[in-house]
Amino acid sequence: MHIHILGICGTFMGGIAVLARQLGYEVSGSDANVYPPMSEQLEAQDIRLSEGYDPAHLASEPDLVVIGNALSRGNPLVEYVLDRGLPYTSGPAFLADNILRQRWVLAVSGTHGKTTTASMLAWILEEAGMMPGYLIGGVSLNFPATACLGKAPFFVVEADEYDSAFFDKRSKFIHYRARTLIMNNLEYDHADIFDDLAAIQRQFHHLVRTVPASGLIILPDNDDHLDAVLQQGCWTPVEHTSQDRSTNSWHARNISKDLQNFDVYLGDECIGPVAWSQMGHHNISNALAAVAAARHAGVLPAQAVAALNTFQGVKRRMELRAIVDQVTIYDDFAHHPSAIALTLEGLRNNVGDAHITAILELRSNTMRMGIHKDALPRALEYADEVILYQSEQLDFDLQKVASSIGTQGRVMTDIAAIIKHVAKKARPGEQVLIMSNGGFDNIHQRLIEALRHRES
């Protein structure tokens, strides 16, 4: 069977391509931007890539075209598929029909933390010898690829609420039929497709409706938006994670000041200690949810906690890129004010009084529209200096945000100028946190090279 994937270099669609290849299918694909690292990962799997959306890419008429949600009507290949009557489907539907059927699906959903929590959960199952399949929307440092077919029955999937395709506006996660469901949190996001929070909650309740009575739903005990989803109806047992010592919840005690050492508890029972390199209260919550989900799949809690001690993290999630001339540079995917605040809080707890410079590119559709602009000043309060990149794609002027931040906030319109400024003023002990869910014109490596030049 030959499948051709449109939008193949996206993290999710690239994962679909890897899984299809592992099924033994012939796989090819097209994308507007074919570049490393995804292009290298795909080519290593003997997957043929074509740049752009020329209809000639489909001249061989594959058995099935899988269309990514970034493509819409008017795209030359989409129009060719429709005109020629070629069989087509969405990425989530392909995953459900060809891989997830008859699998025990452990789905990780929520506005934030999906990639990290899914990576933790997959690693716990791997360490337990269960050889899980997985599809994760990021590069876990514990695994060689973003996706793996694994051995039945267990499959971990990052369950995104974004729409499935131009012809299927249901959230991706509706297709997955989860048996174990983590709902990390819920906030308003994806303003390009959801009118308000209630519209997202509706999709989450559709998700809840698909979880069987023999399944399990795991969520925090302090998220009013998720509670409102369950109040619409829930037919599945629920377990909670908690920030306090709730008698019947998963929670952490004996948390170190830097938040990198803690004990996992279920009620009053101590399961075991965690000592790792991850930062922040949010990652402790992610860990608790992963342990709870793994227990539902049959992993002893103590075994799950032990596995967390060897969890290495995920690229672009507070990833340490380099320490040059005693200046530390991190790369983070933060794309929402709440995620930005949690990331900075975690870094502050880790580095104490060290000077933190935060460099932020607003890249997601919601952020570029200015939906969350009023929440940004408070989200950035743990930084000593904030540099806001005013790209041409922004629909609003960042100067008002910078003014609300105060004297430590500034707006810059040139990435080269940002690099020059930071390289000139950074002192030993400086922590530089670069936040964007895009490539940010390779600012991370360029800054590293500038600091190396300064050091030499």
Q: Which CATH number do you get for residue 80?
A: 3.40.50.720
The whole-number pLDDT of residue 329 equals: 95
Query: Is residue 69 located within the same domain as residue 123?
Result: no
Domain boundary among 89, 119, 142: 89
The whole-number pLDDT of residue 36 equals: 67
Q: What's the rounded Cα separation, in Å, for the pair 120 and 287?
A: 7
Domain boundary among 89, 112, 129: 89
Query: Is residue 54 located within the same domain as residue 143?
Result: no
Q: What are phi and psi of 432, to 5 degrees?
A: -110, 115
Residue 170's CATH number: 3.40.1190.10
Res. 173 pLDDT band, cuts 50 70 90 = very high
In a domain, 96, yes or no: no
Query: Is residue 20 located within the same domain as residue 127?
Result: no
Domain boundary among 89, 113, 136: 89
The whole-number pLDDT of residue 361 equals: 92
In a domain, 277, yes or no: yes
Q: Which of 316, 229, 306 is nearest to 271 (CA)?
A: 306
Report the DSSP beta bridge partners of residue 330.
Answer: 320, 433
The whole-number pLDDT of residue 328 equals: 94
pLDDT above 70 covers a percentage of the chain that reads 99
Res. 40 pLDDT band, cuts 50 70 90 = confident
In a domain, 55, yes or no: yes
Q: What's the rounded Cα separation, in Å, for the pair 387 and 390?
A: 9
Coil, strand, or helix at residue 282?
Answer: helix
In a domain, 94, yes or no: no
The 2-6 sheet, strands edge to edge? 48-51, 26-31, 2-6, 64-67, 88-90
Query: Is residue 134 located within the same domain as residue 271?
Result: yes
Q: Which of 243, 318, 332 is nearest to 284 (CA)?
A: 243
Give the CA radius of gyration of the chain.
22
Query: Is residue 142 located within the same domain as residue 273?
Result: yes
2, pLDDT greater than 90: yes
Query: Is residue 295 located within the same domain as residue 425?
Result: no
Domain region containing 299: 102-308
Query: What value does the mean pLDDT take over residues 289-309?
Result: 98
CB 137 within 8 A of CB 160: yes
User: Given the structure tokens 């410079």, which residue do they identify?
Assistant: 357
The whole-number pLDDT of residue 114 equals: 93
Question: 333-369: string of b/e by CB count within 10 Å (b at 16+)?
Answer: bbbbbbbbbbbbbbbbbbbeeebbbbbbbbbbebbbe
In a domain, 359, yes or no: yes
The whole-number pLDDT of residue 280 equals: 86
Query: What value does the mean pLDDT take over residues 323-333?
Result: 91
Query: Is residue 223 located within the same domain as residue 323?
Result: no
Query: Is residue 351 located within the same domain as residue 325?
Result: yes
| pTM of the predicted protein model | 0.88
In a domain, 341, yes or no: yes
In a domain, 313, yes or no: no
Query: What value does the mean pLDDT take over residues 131-154?
Result: 92
Query: Is residue 262 located within the same domain as residue 155?
Result: yes
- For the chain, the domain total comes to 3
In a domain, 97, yes or no: no
Query: What value does the mean pLDDT take over residues 6-32?
Result: 94
Query: Is residue 304 located within the same domain as residue 326?
Result: no
DSSP output for 387-447: EEE--TT-SS-THHHHHHH-TTEEEES-HHHHHHHHHHH--TT-EEEEE-SS-GGGHHHHH
Q: What is the DSSP letter of 153?
A: S
350-370 pLDDT, tens digit each? 899 999 999 999 888 778 777
Q: What's the rounded Cα separation, in Å, for the pair 270 and 126?
A: 23
What is the sign, positive or negative, of the torsion defined by CA atoms of 197, 199, 201, 204? negative
H helices of 261-407, where?
281-296, 301-308, 337-351, 365-368, 376-379, 399-405
Query: Is residue 110 located within the same domain as residue 228?
Result: yes
Position 136: which residue type? I
Query: Is residue 84 located within the same domain as residue 135?
Result: no
